Each structure stands twice: as structure tokens, then as C-alpha cells.
Amino acid sequence: MKAGLLATICGLAAAWIAFCLLVWGFGESPREIAGQLFEGTWGTAYGTGQVLFKATPLLLTGVAIDLALRAGLFNIGAEGQLAVASLAAAMVGSHLPEGTSALYALPLVLLVAAFAGGLWALVPAVLRARFGAHEVISTIMMNRIADAAIGLVLGLGFALKGTVRTQGLAAGAHVPRLERFLPSLRGSGVSVALVAGVVLALFVGWSYRRTRFGREVSLVGMNPIACGAERIPVRWRLAQALILSGAICGLVSSATVLGYKGYFEQGLGAGAGFGGLAVALLGRGNGVGLVLAALLFGTLQQGGLAINAYVPMELMDVIQGVVITSVALADARVRAVVMRTAKGAFG
């Protein structure tokens, strides 16, 4: 725990130093720009809503990637998994009869999204569990295949003519916006998917301690050889962890397709997979930690828009990269995965 907290503090400290240096490089005051960043995020109801909206996909992918990390796996394929799942959810949701009740439509579309995400993770899971292939390589490969497959599907007539988007969802397949319950958030894209994401993060964190599956996944990530000697089904747990990670990534569509756009378009949700990696590393496998990390990176994303008049918004992407790199270097779990990958690839 102390080592994890130290890694988090190192990441945040490195991010602040990088922020100050970059802002100074553009001839601005870090204190003033930080103030502008706060005003454009938590300083207004709309800004708060947008932070929460941007944090939702990051939270879901963070939970998914953290689950894989628990098993000693590095799920780099979250981008492809959420993209394929989003397309599948939109295709099913747009072909439902218009009068379909939300009691049937919404669970069906979410189930399709989770199934599609898990299915896209199936190939890397089988390659890892059956043949020992490195999931880092196979999940990156599946990302590239996902990009090509989505373009092909849209080009075959599933997109509206002259666009790269699908038809709109049936009314029952929409996730309600939070502005229906909190009028002050009117205009922002945050939806009930945020609440579901928080509940899922807390539940998954609880399951690591209270369920057999959660405990065995964690033990496999620590020492698969010892787990095999104790007759824990190591290969099966590895495959389950990666497939379930993909399924959770598929639920990102609840925030982007079902809760915001109302349709799928090429590129929707891009970046959430890699952002989720930062959330997983900073959240330290704790449900509350994952939520706080998602809020931090959601703030950075929205803050980039708020300070764009003074410094380039891409500065926030650099800060996010600094956090990922700094925490990864100090994270024992990540070092173990990298060492295992390097050992298998070169020796």
C-alpha cells in the first residue's frame, strides 16, 4: 500500500512539474493558468457536468484495465474493444422497433455491448492462456483490426449515406442524462452511466477481497506458478480476466453512444482506452481510487478546452502521458508485466 501511494504521489508531482515547465515555456504564469483551468471545470455547473461526462468512459476503462492488471495482464486493447462494442450497440439499438420499452431495449443493448467487447478480447485471451502469447502484442493487433473492421462495416452500408455514423437509436435504448434529475447540469453530456460506473468500480474492488474469483485472479497475478501448484486454474483465470476486462470496456458505449450521441460514429470514444490505463495505474486497484483518478483525468481533458486560449489544449495530453509514465515506472505490477514480456520476447 505504501509503495502504491508513493507511486501515485510521484506521478502527481511529476505532472505538476511538467505543467509548470510547459506553461512557462509558453510565457504564461502556471498559477494563473491553473486558476483558469479550475474555472473552466469545477468552477461552473456546466464545467462540472463536462468533467463528469469525460470521466465516465475513463472510469469504465480504468476498471477494465485494472482487472487485467490484477491477473498480471496488460490490456492495451481497450480502444478496440470499446469501439467494436459501441458499433455493435448502435447497430442493435438503431434497429429496435421505435416503441420498444426501455425496460427491454436498454438491458439488451448493454448486454450486446458487453458481449461484443468480451468477444473482441477472446482472441488475445485464448492466445495468452493456451499458447502463452503476449497480450500486449495481441491486443495491439486487435486494435488495428478493429479500426479496419469498423471502417469496413460502415462502408458496407451500415452508415448513413455520406457519413461515418450509424442511424439513431430507438428512444428506449437511450441512457438518461443527469440533467433530468439535476437541472443545473443542463447542456452537459453526463448521464446515468456515471452512476453505474461508480457502482461497478466499487463492486469490482469489493469482489477482489470477497469472492473466490477475485481472490484467485489477484493471486494468479502475484505468482502463477505457486497458484498452479495449489491447483488454481491459472490459464482459465487469465482468460476470464481478459475477457471480462473486454466486456467492461464494451460498457463504455453506455456513456458515449447511449448516453450522449444517440448513435455511433467513427472515432467516438477514441482515447478512452489509453486514458483508462492512467486511471488504473493511479487508482491502485481501489474502487474509490479509480473514481478519483477518473475525475482527475476528466478534469485535465475538460481543462484543456478551458485554457486553450492561453496555451495549446494538447498540453493536457502531455500531462496525462507524464502521469502514466511516472506511475508505471514506480508501479511494481507494471514492472512485473514488462519484465515477463521482455523475458518471453528475448529470452
Per-residue pLDDT tens digits of the chain, which is 347 residues long:
555 667 777 778 888 999 999 999 999 999 999 999 999 999 999 999 999 999 999 999 999 999 999 999 999 999 999 999 999 999 999 999 988 999 999 999 999 999 999 999 999 999 999 999 989 999 999 999 999 999 999 999 899 988 999 999 999 999 999 999 999 999 999 999 999 999 999 999 999 989 999 999 999 998 899 999 989 999 999 999 999 999 999 999 999 999 999 999 999 999 899 899 889 988 877 899 999 999 999 999 999 999 998 999 989 889 888 887 877 776 655 555 555 655 655 55
pLDDT (0 to 100) of residue 326: 79
> How many Å apart are CA 180 and CA 164, to the nearest integer?
30
SS3 label, residue 85: helix
- The Cβ-side half-sphere exposure at 151, using a 13 Å CA radius, reads 6
pLDDT (0 to 100) of residue 26: 92
Angular region, 157: left φ>0, alpha ψ -120 to 50, beta rest: left
Please name the residues in contact with 87: beta carbons below 8 A apart, sequence gap of 6 or more: 116, 150, 153, 154, 166, 264
SS3 label, residue 167: coil
> How many Å apart are CA 49 and CA 186, to the nearest integer?
8
Q: CA dist 122 to 70, 127, 166, 237, 288, Å?
A: 18, 9, 25, 13, 29
pLDDT (0 to 100) of residue 245: 97
Long-range contacts of 327-333 (CB under 8 A, 24+ apart): 327/7, 327/8, 327/10, 327/11, 327/278, 327/281, 327/282, 328/281, 330/3, 330/6, 330/7, 330/10, 330/11, 331/4, 331/7, 331/281, 332/3, 333/69, 333/72, 333/221
pLDDT (0 to 100) of residue 347: 53
> How many Å apart are CA 259 and CA 5, to the nearest integer?
34
Go through 260-299 and write b for each residue having 16 or more CB atoms within 10 A of its CB, e for each that does not.
bbbbbbbebbebbbbbbbbbbbbbbbbbebbbbbbbbbbb
Selected from 1.10.390, 3.40.630, 1.10.287, 1.10.3470, the CATH number assigned to the domain covering 2-346 reads: 1.10.3470
> How many Å apart are CA 89 and CA 169, to the nearest integer?
9
Give the number of other CB atoms < 10 A from CB of residue 212. 9
Looking at the DSSP bridge assignments, the partners of residue 191 are 177
Beta carbons of 172 and 105 less than 8 angstroms apart: yes
